[in-house]
Amino acid sequence: MITVTEALDRLFALATPLAPETVPLAQAAGRVLAREATARRDQPPFPASAMDGYAVADAAAGDSLTVIGESAAGHGFAGSVGPGQAVRIFTGAPVPEGATRVVIQEDTTRDGDRITLQANLDAPTHIRPAGSDFRAGAAIPAPRRLSPSDIALLASMNIAEVAVTRQPRVALISTGDELVMPGEDPGPDQIIVSNTFGLAALLQDLGALPRMLPIARDNREALRSVFGLVDDADLVITIGGASVGDHDLVAPVLAELGMEQAFHKVAMRPGKPLMSGRFGKATMIGLPGNPVSAMVCGHVFVAPVIRALLGLGAAPAPRRTAPLAEPLAANGPREHYMRATLGPDGITAQGRQDSSLLSILGQSDALLVRPVRDPARAAGEMVEYLPFG
């Protein structure tokens, strides 16, 4: 068996970042920016009013000024403002030449085309200088996952399309005679397939394009048939059949089909019977069949591989720290990822950790990480965890 760190290193060696593609800005949210994007204009492109009021050359309490025009958003005032003059102006409108400040309308009284400035004038100029947000050539660095705020910024930079990393295509294959799809009537010895759906949801959240292939039955012919449907996948994930029992045929069939194995078995729980390799042009990860084991391995291994394929770097899933709300007994010889909940007093490991209990996973919001042979821990001690989401 190899360690989790060694397994990740070998996976990263297989996960080459994918090529970029250009997409319209409206389709770029959530995608990974592949190349630096630079602004094509200043923002604002002109000195702009930050308030509704009057643009003036100078102002003092009690001044009486003549209103000579109006400046609105999209319709600026073409002339200039001189002493004793004012231009009615609205938020976002260009500040006319000669104006040094905007007097907010609450600090004025108006009678026809005359305004009088009140006492205790607001101190700020209420003018946003040209380029005060960003200048032409300002850059958004890559790589980064584009948030809604990034999309708004790119639009204001006058960028209509961006280069993003192609989304990884992932083939998901569940194996086992005991499995049927949700909504079907299982036989007396069958169960509903769940791992594929959970992993597909995780992959979608990560920015990948999952494709669920038919369930592969526990015989060589069925496995060969389903593996023949992999097509152009960048990553192939099998669930189940990765151990060494008489019905665990994934590894030998893949070997017959030319897979170059990178590793098999990892010193962790849950998730020991994990394997990986190169299958054609695709990276291959074989996950254990226990529902919780598959999902835990999804967070620990699949998520970092997807981020690596997207060009976001080869790094383990980021960990956080929290105090233990309750004590923990000593850990054994494998790194343990315990389902846990976060609360005001810290993090609490779930009482039941059996790898078949999806209900416990559903009640959890983190994986508490126990190092190999970690000693007993008292309440209040700091521990590491992987958050869900």
Strand partners, 12: none
Reported as type and span, the H/E element at residue 146 is: none
Q: Facing residues of 170 across strands? A: 210, 235
Neighbours of 261 (CB within 10 A): 16
Element (H, E) at 21: strand 20-24
Q: Which residue has the tokens 């994986």?
A: 367
Interatomic CA distance for residues 323 and 346, integer angstroms: 5
The per-residue pLDDT of the chain, averaged, comes to 94
Q: For residue 240, what are the contacts with CB-CB under 8 A and spacing of at least 6?
A: 174, 175, 176, 179, 195, 250, 287, 288, 289
pTM of the model: 0.89
Per-residue pLDDT, averaged over 318-345, amounts to 96
**pLDDT value at residue 35:** 97
Residue with tokens 């100078």: 58
Q: How far apart are CA 311 and CA 19, in angstroms?
A: 9
Q: Which of 112, 53, 119, 111 is nearest to 86 (CA)?
A: 53
Between CA 14 and CA 8 the distance in angstroms is 10
What would the two tokens of residue 13 be? 């060696």
* Cβ within 8 Å of residue 376, ≥6 positions away: 327, 328, 329, 330
Q: What is the pLDDT of residue 1?
A: 86
pLDDT tens, position by position, 94-114:
999 999 999 999 999 999 999
CA separation for the pair 342, 344 (Å, rounded): 7
Q: Is a pLDDT exceeding 60 seen at residue 115?
A: yes
Region label for 190, one of left (φ > 0), alpha (ψ between -120 and 50) or beta (otherwise): beta
- What does the pLDDT look like over 178-209, one tens digit per residue? 999 999 999 999 999 999 999 999 999 999 99
Strand boundaries in 206-361, DSSP class E:
209-212, 235-239, 260-264, 268-269, 275-279, 282-287, 320-323, 335-343, 346-349
pLDDT band at 244 (very low <50, low <70, confident <90, very high): low
Residue 262, pLDDT > 60, answer yes
